[in-house]
Each structure stands twice: as C-alpha cells, then as structure tokens.
Amino acid sequence: MIDIRLVREQPDLVKAALGRRGVDPSDIDELSALDERHRELLARQERLRARVKSLSREVGMARRGGDGARAAALAAESRAVGEEERAAAEETDRVAGELRGRLLVTPNIPADDAPDGASEAENVERSRWWPGQEEGRPEPVPEAHQRVPHFDVATELGILDMARGARMSGSMFPLYRADGARLLRALTSFALERHRDAYEEIRPPTMVLTETLTSTGHLPKFADEAYHIERDDLWAIPTAEVPLTSMYRGEILEEADLPLRLTAMTQCFRREAGAAGRDTRGLLRVHEFEKVELYAFTTPAQASDAFADIVERAEDLLRALGLPYRVLDLCTGDLGLSAARTFDLEVYAPGVDRWLEVSSVSWVRDYQARRASIRYRPAAGGPPQLVHTLNGSALAWSRIWAALVEWGRQPDGTVRLPDALAPWLGDPPVLTAR
C-alpha cells in the first residue's frame, strides 16, 4: 500500500498522481480525514492511559499517607477514566481498521514515465518482433493452414480434451493429453533452464494464507477472482508472485544479498469471474494454467535494471520459440492495483486472429513490501528500508501452447514446433495425430 505519511504530508501530490489512474480526489480527502481522526484518537487514548497511571500512583500515595477517603475517591476516578480509556481504545482500533481497509484498496502511485490513459485502448506499443526481422524480412503473413484455431488442431491431433476436463472440474479447466501434455512439460523445462544462471528455482505451496494473498494486493480487492477454501481459510494462488512475495514477509534482508532473484513454476487458479461468455473455447481463458514466474527483491536503485532483465528474459524466450510478439507499455488506467509500471508481452495467434497476453512484467516499488513488512539493512548504515519488488511471467503456458500449435501447423495437419524444444520433444519436434 502507499505510504500514509505521503498522504499526510503531500496530499496534493498524491491526488495528482492517483488522479492519473482515475482516482477521485475526494477519496484522498477521506483517507486524510481518517488518518487525522486516527491520530487524534491515538493521542486521546494515550492521554487517558497516562491519566490512569497517574491516578494509580496517587492512590498508592494516599493509602501510604493514611488518607483512605482520598484513596477511595481517586480509585473511583481511576476506574472511570479506565473505562473511558478502554472505550477510546476500541474506537481507535475501529478507525485504524477502517483506515487500513481504505489503504488496502488504494492503488499504487504510477511511475512518472507510465503513459497516461483511461483504458487498455490507450496502452502504448513500444516494440514488435518477428522471425527474420533482423535480416530485414517482412512481418509474416499466416498461411491458410495456420489459420485454424488451436482447439480444432488439438482435437484433430488428440492432444487437448476440454470436454473431459469440463466433465471432471467444470468448464474452462483444460485436460492435456499425450504430446499436448509433453509440450506443456517441455515449455516449463525450457524456461527454467534458461533462468538458472541468475534466478534461484523455488517450488512454493499452491495454497496460501489470507495474509499471504493480502501482501501482494490480491486481497481484499480481488477476492471474487480467487478460489477460497473456507474450512481452512486457504486460497489457491493466482500466480507464483503471491507466495514468492511472502517468502521474506516480516524479515530484514541485507543489502549485500540484493538483488534477490527467484523463479518458480506453479499451477495458477483464477475464477475469471467477469469472463462469462468470452473466450471460453480452447485455452484463451481458463481457470487453471501453468506459469513460470520471475521475481526480484531489490533496493530502489537496483529496480530499473531488474525490471529490464525480466522483460528481456521474457522476450528472449519468445524469440527462441519463434513467436511474433509486441511489447505494450500499460497506461495508468490499465495498471494493476499494485503496479507502478507494467509492460505486457503479447503474442499473435493466427488461428484465433488475436494478440494474446503471455507475460506481464511489473515494478511495484515498495507497495507490496509495506504490506508484507519486508525491509533491507543498508550497507552504509542507518535504519532498515523497504525493498522494492518486481515480478513477471516468463512465461504463461496456456496461450503460448495455443500460439505454437497454430503457427506450427503444417499443410498435412501435423505441428512443427521450435527446435529449442527438441531436447524434450525429440529432433525434429513434431506433433502428430495419436
């Protein structure tokens, strides 16, 4: 969450910054008023507590001096003030909870260089790549055999069975078969191996506590999008970003250990509550999917390089897979709650004739670290400081799987996959009918 001290000391700056995200200035006024009320209540509670302590001392002095009547009167006053202090504490806690609740749903302040805009229609395309671009070849035009949707190709080859997946778990839960499942496994191995040079591989839990999901900003705002097991108060993770953020929750890291880079492959679960009737065929929008995540804890000075590294690694994977893609700089109106800056990578899929988001790389500044209380101890001395956190997909596989199957389809109906996957799928890597 944002720093309440910034709201307190520079409200106009916060209003202007969050106004770029469409936040009403009156929301910041209400936040400021709550903060002021909370501080007033805290001060009153402290005054009452101090009065109780003072009265207790006076009661003792009166008793030691043999003045029973005065001691009784002071004791009665102490009890009354004590009741007042307890009521004040309850009111202080209530307002503190309301203030924290408001802060938890207040979005992050966008980076100065994030483009302004109200919706995804105003995102800025920063670059585009396709095979052969470096040699001057034009952007590829899909052949007729590549314009078949992946769900039709997969049915022909027997490598994806959405109907049986739905029979077991409901709609939008895919079931991969044979070479389809092997392709998924190959993509994960391919990605993790390419990140081994700089990122520690983690295999985190798939179910997490409420405070874990709150630390990233997914709760309370996006509760309707998550799967919750009420009996155990556990949540199925929507991304590995969630458990990776909380690996060091409540800890103080050493600056010498930063940047700290992690990678993880996990199952990801999303209700896609607002997706009824949209993109429900095939793999464009599913409730469960596999994703390799890149994550970094940094100092503020290291954050820019860490952001660039995650973006470059995601692009490197797409180039190795030979998939045409573009990089979008998300405008302020399309940023996620926690993000200060986000680049989305989208792959073009010819069978569905769509650009598909396959990676979202975000710099979160200290927004999550403040929620999770993750700090670092500066090497030069001084008090611990909040870390910056960054995350990005490298990559999310369901849509990559779809794009590979569509681009790789041959005139005879087989699917030729990139040579980069040959170590796991054979040389040449080709999918044929079962």
What range does the domain containing 65 cover?
A: 4-105
Residue 158 covered by a domain: yes
| Contact between residue 28 and residue 45 where contact means Cβ atoms under 8 Å apart | no
- CATH number assigned to the domain comprising residue 44: 1.10.287.40
Q: Where are the beta strands (DSSP E) in 213-287?
A: 227-229, 234-236, 252-254, 260-269
**Domain identity same for 131 and 82:** no
Residues 81 and 216 in one domain: no
Query: Could you tell me what percent of the chain has a pLDDT over 90?
Result: 97
Residue in the structure block whose two tokens are 């429900």? 280
Q: Give a yes or no: residue 113 inside a domain.
A: no
What pTM value is reported for the model?
0.93
Domain boundary (60, 80, 105) is at 105
Instruction: Report which residue type is found at 428.
Output: P
Based on the fold, state whether residues 178 and 97 are members of the same structural domain: no
Among 81, 105, 129, identify where a domain stops. 105
Determine the distance from the C-alpha atom of residue 149 to the mean position of all C-alpha atoms in its chain, rounded to a whole number.
Answer: 30
Type and span of the H or E element at 78? helix 68-105
Show which of 59, 80, 105 is a domain's final residue. Answer: 105
Look at residue 22 and tell me if it is in a domain.
Answer: yes
Q: Do 74 and 176 belong to one domain?
A: no
Domain contains 115:
no
**Residues 68 and 183 reside in one and the same domain:** no
Q: Which two tokens stand for residue 51?
A: 């009065």
| Residue 280, pLDDT score | 72
- Residue 384 domain-assigned (yes or no): yes
* DSSP per-residue letters across 120-143: GGG-EEEEEE-TTGGGTPPPP---
Strands (E), 50-162: 124-129
Looking at the structure, tell me whether residues 50 and 140 fall in a common domain: no
Number of structural domains the chain divides into: 2
Place of tokens 């979202």: 360
**pLDDT tens sequence for the chain (434 residues):** 999 999 999 999 999 999 999 999 999 999 999 999 999 999 999 999 999 999 999 999 999 999 999 999 999 999 999 999 999 999 999 999 999 999 999 999 999 999 999 999 999 999 999 999 999 999 999 999 999 999 999 999 999 999 999 999 999 999 999 999 999 999 999 999 999 999 999 999 999 999 999 999 999 999 999 999 999 999 999 999 999 999 999 999 999 999 999 999 999 999 986 555 566 789 999 999 999 999 999 999 999 999 999 999 999 999 999 999 999 999 999 999 999 999 999 999 999 999 999 999 999 999 999 999 999 999 999 999 999 999 999 999 999 999 999 999 999 999 999 999 999 999 999 999 87
Do 282 and 376 fall into the same domain? Answer: yes
Neighbouring-strand partners of residue 290:
267
Element (H or E) spanning 344, and its range? strand 341-349
Question: What are the CA-CA distances from residue 66 to residues 62, 75, 220 (Å)?
Answer: 6, 14, 58
* Cα R_g (the chain), whole angstroms: 28
Q: Rounded CA gap, 232 and 243, in Å?
A: 17
Q: Where are the beta strands (DSSP E) in 37-123?
A: none
Exposure string (b/e) for 378-408, b if CB count within 10 Å is 16 or more?
eeeeeeebbbbbbbbbbbbbbbbbbbbbbbb
Alpha-carbon distance of 344 to 393, in angstroms, equals: 9
Cα distance between residue 222 and residue 220, in whole Å? 6
Q: Where are the alpha helices (DSSP H) in 222-354?
A: 241-245, 303-321
List own/partner pairs for 96-104 with CB under 8 A and 24 or more apart: 96/38, 98/34, 99/4, 99/31, 99/34, 99/35, 99/38, 101/220, 102/30, 102/31, 102/34, 103/1, 103/2, 103/4, 103/31, 104/1, 104/214, 104/217, 104/219, 104/220, 104/221, 104/371
The DSSP annotation for 383-428 comes to: S-EEPEEEEEEEEEHHHHHHHHHHHHB-TTS-EEPPGGGHHHH-SS
Same domain for 276 and 175: yes
Locus of tokens 């975000």: 362
- CA 342 to chain CA centroid, Å, is 11
Pair 283, 175 in one domain: yes
Residue 110 lies in a domain: no
Q: How many CB atoms lie within 10 A of CB 40?
A: 12
Strand 288-298 with 260-269, pairing: antiparallel
Say which residues have a Cβ less than 8 Å from residue 298's Cβ, sequence separation at least 6.
258, 259, 260, 306, 387, 388, 389, 390
Decide if 112 is inside a domain: no
- 279 backbone φψ class: left, alpha, beta (φ>0; ψ -120 to 50): left
Count of positions (residues) in the chain? 434
In a domain, 298, yes or no: yes
Taking the C-alpha atoms of residue 147 and residue 214, their distance in angstroms, rounded to an integer, is 42
CB neighbour burial string for 213-234, b if at least 16 within 10 angstroms, e if fewer: bbbbbbbebbeeebebeeeeeb
**Phi, psi angle pair for 156, to nearest 5°:** -60, -40
**Could you give the CA distance from residue 37 to residue 31 in angstroms, rounded to a whole number?**
10
Indicate if 49 and 193 belong to the same structural domain: no
**Are 310 and 419 members of one domain?**
yes
What was the pLDDT predicted at 278?
A: 60
Residues 136, 78 within the same domain: no
Secondary structure (3-state) at 172: coil
The angle at the Cα of 23, spanning 21 to 27, to the nearest 5 degrees, equals 155
Strand, coil or helix: 265:
strand
